């Protein structure tokens, strides 16, 4: 039941996704904005995973929007992480390696966006067989980034 509620919450987030850039010039607002952007990706990945495991029933339109929201989060994340907040990273799991290896980090976000866009096509049909390899590809982009750029 909890996973169904999580999927429903993710679906609601997907339906009403909006994001605004951080406006404060201290690093805390930038860090919070990044967390918000990555929460979109995580919730959407959770909904897709719930469907793939057979733990919740979601229709193709919701699944496609979940994948598209991950792509959207990837696009937003490039700008959200661009501000170097190493000096004010009180409550974050982001590593300084992000800004030390910006091109690699940005490339990973772009790969995530591309993989999520590919997944959205198969997800629209709710075709688990077609979605499986694309979920693995997308999950690999997430893992690579988390392994190298997240505590």
| DSSP-assigned letters across all residues of 39-100 | HHHHHHHHHHHHHHTTSS---HHHHHHHHHHHHHHHHHHHHHHHS--GGG-TT--B-THHHH
56 assigned ligand-binding residue? no
Tell me: is residue 50 an annotated ligand-binding position.
no
Residue 144: HSE in the Cβ half-sphere, 13 Å Cα cutoff: 15
Burial level of 16, CB count in 10 A (0-12/13-18/19+)? exposed
Known binding residues are 142, 145-146
Binding-site residue numbers for heme c are 142, 145-146
């Amino acid at each position: 039941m909890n996973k169904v509620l999580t999927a429903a919450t993710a679906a609601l987030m997907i339906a009403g996704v909006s994001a605004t850039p951080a406006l404060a010039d201290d690093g805390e607002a930038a860090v919070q904005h990044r967390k918000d952007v990555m929460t979109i990706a995580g919730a959407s990945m959770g909904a897709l995973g719930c469907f793939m495991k057979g733990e919740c029933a979601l229709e193709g339109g919701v699944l496609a929007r979940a994948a598209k929201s991950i792509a959207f989060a990837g696009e937003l994340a490039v700008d959200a992480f661009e501000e170097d907040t190493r000096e004010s990273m009180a409550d974050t799991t982001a590593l300084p390696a992000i800004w030390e290896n910006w091109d690699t980090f940005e490339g990973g976000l772009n790969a995530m966006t591309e993989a999520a866009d590919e997944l959205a096509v198969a997800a629209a049909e709710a075709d688990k067989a077609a979605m499986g390899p694309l979920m693995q590809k997308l999950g690999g982009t997430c893992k690579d980034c988390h392994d190298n750029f997240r505590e």
